Amino acid sequence: MLWALFTIVAAAAQTVRNATQRGLTARVGTIGATLVRFLFGLPFACLFLAGVAAATGLAPPLPDAAALAWAAAGAMFQIAATALMLAAMRTRSFVVAIAYTKTEPVQAALFALLFLGERPTLWTVAAIFVATAGVLLMSWPKRAAPGEGDASWTPALLGLAAGACFALSAVGFRGAVLRLDTPSFVMAATSVLVLGLTMQTFAMTAWLAAFDRPVLAQVAHAWRPSLLAGFMGAFASQFWFLSFALASVAQVRTLGLVEVIFAQIVSRRMFKQGASPREAAGIALILAGLAALVHG
């Protein structure tokens, strides 16, 4: 059950990172806030890798072509997922925007079956559907006001797309972790973390340098709050990857739904956003699904 502990730590850290990034969008925009988690997370990931190498006495493994391909897929889908999630946060409350992305476990189970051959157990399937039902209950859009048309579905579509990209990203990173040739799962997870963040930082910085240089200047000016977002992003990813080294994508991402509960706590304390009775019922279903997962 070590993977479960790692997943809960990752979900808690990711909630803090999401809240920090949400605050940064007003200063550096959605793309800038997306870059922050990678650019400012990479130095911390390198420190993590140096610490693991010192503790284990192992050198970081050299990735082969397959590992690089898996890591690249994970990295690029994570960039897209983060940008879509932050865009959803700008159109709906923090907790509900997070909930939309948490349809991910159903998609993750399907993608993991297709690309990694991971067949979920009956308990895992039950947990996925119960917990996802809770997510849908708490995040189903309210009736649009007159003149709004389908505007209320915008965060739903953004969140669902983000969930799909997060699912594909998880599959890619688990594939990379499993591919590396090293006796230490901690070394494998941390090496993929550094590899992924390097790819993401290079890709986004190069794109912004070519097409939107003012965003780079805005990110540089906001370096102080960006340090916390970068650290929490690297810290959360470190524990996600440790979980991927020990358990299937479907298990990890389903238990990761506990982040919705953490997001509710953050919303109440930081953004003064309460939960409706329907959202509270959805949270109860999520907890029931997670209990089924752990029991199974």
Exposure class string for 31-58: b at 16+ Cβ within 10 A, else e: bbbbbbbbbbbbebbbebbeebbeeeeb
Q: How many domains does the chain have?
A: 1
d(CA 254, CA 104): 8
211, containing H or E segment: helix 185-211
Q: Is the dihedral of CA 108, 103, 293, 18 positive or negative?
A: positive
pTM for this prediction: 0.86
Mean pLDDT, 10 residues at a time, the chain of 296 residues:
94 87 83 91 98 97 97 95 80 64 85 94 89 77 48 72 93 97 96 97 95 93 91 96 96 88 71 67 85 76
Task: Please report the pLDDT score of residue 269 as a whole number.
Answer: 61
d(CA 49, CA 159): 32
Q: Is the dihedral of CA 287, 290, 295, 296 positive or negative?
A: positive
Task: Please report the pLDDT score of residue 84 as a whole number.
Answer: 86
Range of the domain at 55: 2-143+151-295
Give the CA count within 13 Å in the CB-facing half-sphere of 41. 30
Tokens 């997306």 label which residue?
A: 34
Exposure class string for 95-118: b at 16+ Cβ within 10 A, else e: bbbbbbbbbbbbbbbebbbebbeb
Task: Please report the pLDDT score of residue 18 as a whole number.
Answer: 81
Q: Are 289 and 130 in contact (CB under 8 A)?
A: yes
Task: Please report the pLDDT score of residue 149 as a whole number.
Answer: 41
d(CA 157, CA 284): 24
Amino acid at 1: M
d(CA 168, CA 74): 7
φ, ψ of residue 184 to 5 degrees: the values are -110, 120
